[in-house]
Structure 1
């Protein structure tokens, strides 16, 4: 479960160019929900996603994931949360282009502190679960955008995280491929994953169970579909 209580994020605090990206944002996202976060460019939705992903910190308030307060932790604890509880899917895929699909999916497994002798098998299973196991040995600079996004999703789920965060996951894709990727997210949701999608595409948002709208760093609506 994700709990946000009065989260405020200020960039360049105490400087002339200080900017409040989030202002006292509060909400709860329960296990197994499929949620869209929408808003115009600059509304604060990506800032919120980065806080949820433990990529960025915040000035005040409290963020808890599965009861753990996420603030001012040692970097190793942030890394542990990121690697074990959260899977991240980026808009630009963020793949190592001259790695194979399999090598890209194995990257999170390489950061595990405990030795895992089944890394290859786990990565192959993740690729199979997104329907592209046949591309395992193909370099990512040789595959399509939709296939890259599937590799990125496989990488996000390879450690079996409870939460998947996706930043504009269909933004670089055509309509048909976008629909296929959303079908994949719904399949993962049906398996019990908590999925949070940041999107500017209202059609994508309406395929989620719940829509949270942000404007000027504040939640202005939160509704079930």
Structure 2
């Protein structure tokens, strides 16, 4: 379970340009839920997602994952949580363009002590699970947007995390490809993973179990 209580996030704290992006935000996301986070640009959606992903810290409140308090941890502890519990998917894919699809998916496995053969097998299995196993050896700069997003999703799930966080994962895709990617997220959710999707697209949000709406740094719905 993900639980955040009275989270406040300030950028440039105690400076003249201080900005409070989140104001006492609280919510719970149960294991196995498919949740959409919606709101206008600048509402605080991505800030919330980055806190959930342990990419960004916060000043006040509490955030727990499976009962573990996430705050003031060492970078090694943060990295361990990110690598074992969380898979992250970005709008711009965040791939190494000159790497092959397989090499990109293997990146999270670099932290493990597995043999290279085992890493390749796991990465290939992840690519096959998202429907592009045949593209394993193709450089990512030769792939379409939808194919790149599938590589990004394969990379997010290669360590078999319990939670997938996606920041506008269909924002750069056409309608048909967006539907295919959303179907993939729903399939991952049916396999038992918690999926949280930040989106501005109401059609994407409507396909989720629950919608959390943020406005001006506060949850309003």
TM-score range, shorter chain: over 0.9
CA 1:116–1:63 in structure 2 vs 1: closer, same or farther (change >3 Å)?
Answer: farther
* Structure 2 counterpart SS, 1:16: coil
TM (norm. structure 2) is 0.98
CA deviations over 1:12-67 (Å, ceiling 9, x no partner): 11111111000100011000000000000000000000000000000000000011
**Structure 2: gaps of 5 or more residues:** none
**What's the counterpart of residue 84 of structure 1?**
84
**What's the counterpart of residue 13 of structure 1?**
13
**What's the counterpart of residue 28 of structure 1?**
28
CA deviations over 1:143-184 (Å, ceiling 9, x no partner): 100000000000000000000000000000000000000000
**What's the counterpart of residue 140 of structure 1?**
140
Within-5 A mapping of 1:63-78: 63-78=63-78
1:88 CA drift (Å): 0.1
TM (norm. structure 1) is 0.97
Within-5 A mapping of 1:160-171: 160-171=160-171
* Structure 2 counterpart SS, 1:164: strand
**What's the counterpart of residue 45 of structure 1?**
45
**What's the counterpart of residue 130 of structure 2?**
130
**What's the counterpart of residue 183 of structure 2?**
183
The alignment yields a C-alpha RMSD, in angstroms, of: 0.7
Paired residues in the alignment total 220
